[in-house]
Amino acid sequence: MSLGSIDSTSEDELVWLLRHKTRRRIILAIGDAGKISATTLRDMLKISTGSLYYNLRQLKDFVRQDEDRNYTLTEEGERVYKVLKEGGVLSLDLLKPRPPGRFMKLVTNMFFPIWLFSPLYESIGLRIITSSLSIMVSILLLIYTRTSPLILHIYESSTNIFEIVAKYLGNLVIMYLLLTFVSILISGRLFHQKGVGKTVEGIKSIALSSLNEELKFFFSLIIAILPMMFYPGLLALDKFFNLHLLPEPGKPGYYQIRDLYMIIAQSISLPFLIALTAYGRRLSGTTAAIVVLLVYFISHVLSQLLMMSL
């Protein structure tokens, strides 16, 4: 069986799939077993829970869960399985686990924390609790320090509490829209499909497939940008304990130190946003990084324009 025997509507996605050994191993393991639990699959492949759920999510057109939450192959997945088995793609080391070294595992977990979003997507209770706490902490810090977010920047705001809250909530919506539409554009699905129907299918493979999926992404986004509160958090400590962490506005070094704290907050936030974009929008880590960096660039440009207008 060849790639040409697969439905043409999923040919590009199949080529994308077959490049990744972990996903090929998942297809083969599920196909060989017929049905298998997530725990057994994780132990068989010797990969982390976060990595397993990330790749299962990428394979949602090829893998499904039954009523007992065991994983089986869809009709399209069965075709892919036959390609792997009969088309010469399978090699002896494909199912042989090659766990990464401890150092590489640590680096990956730090700079691509996909492990955070698999439990958030799986558990509605955890998602609601953590996102609610994130909102409360963020709003309290912003109100106390009289600051407001602008995408991935924080700037001084008015003393009106309702205005600060409105700007924070509005910024969440802006972040959601930017990450969604930039993901669609960068993925290429918008332009590589012929016909309106296929274009819509291509978009839905990245985003806007269902209200439930979009709510998962939005609530996870609230948690992903929480590290941006590092900057108002420092301002709050400085204000409460009089630590002199930041010179007064207009004093020497004020802008340099302020920008340093802002860069630290952004640097902490970016890996979480990249991991969320990869997980939630079914993108590779590299593509997700490009999406987030473009959003950061937009944020930087708007921030500079705002500073010039003041």
Summarize the confidence of residues 85-112 as an average pLDDT: 59
pLDDT of amino acid 76: 83
Average pLDDT over residues 19-30: 83
The ranges assigned to domains in the chain are: 3-99, 110-309
Q: Which of 21-35, 52-66, 85-99, 204-218 has the lowest mean pLDDT?
A: 85-99
Closest-CA residue to 292 (of 112, 90, 105, 116)? 112
> pLDDT tens digits, residue range 136-191?
999 999 999 999 999 999 999 888 999 999 999 999 999 999 999 998 888 766 55
Cβ atoms of 175 and 267 closer than 8 Å: no
pLDDT at 194 over 60: no
- Per-residue tokens: 227: 């590290």
Q: What integer is the mean pLDDT of 119-133?
A: 90
Three-point CA angle 292, 293, 295, nearest 5°: 65
Q: Are 36 and 71 in contact (CB under 8 A)?
A: yes
The per-residue pLDDT for range 258-283, each reduced to its tens digit, is: 999 999 999 999 999 999 998 888 88
Predicted local confidence at residue 95, as pLDDT: 43
The backbone torsions φ and ψ at residue 95, rounded to the nearest 5 degrees and listed phi first, read -95, 0
pLDDT exceeds cutoff 90 at 213? no
What is the predicted pLDDT for the residue at 57? 83
Answer for the pair 265, 271: CB distance below 8 angstroms, yes or no.
no
Closest CA to 278 of 212, 200, 186: 186
Dihedral angle, C-alpha 202, 203, 207, 209, nearest 10 ° = -80
Q: What is the pLDDT of residue 221?
A: 96
Q: For residues 42 and 93, which has the higher predicted lDDT (pLDDT)?
A: 42
Q: What is the average pLDDT across 249-256?
A: 83
The residue-averaged pLDDT of 242-248 equals 85
Q: Give the model's confidence band at 2: pLDDT under 50 very low, under 70 low, under 90 confident, else very high.
A: very low
**CATH 3.40.50.720 for domain 3-99:** no
Q: What is the pLDDT of residue 108?
A: 66
**Mean pLDDT score of the chain:** 82
Nearest-angstrom CA–CA distance, 259 and 274 = 22
Q: Does residue 13 have a pLDDT over 70? A: no
> What's the token pair of residue 70?
């065991």
What is the pLDDT at residue 135?
A: 97
What confidence tens digit (pLDDT) does each residue in 46-73 have?
A: 888 888 888 888 888 789 888 888 899 9
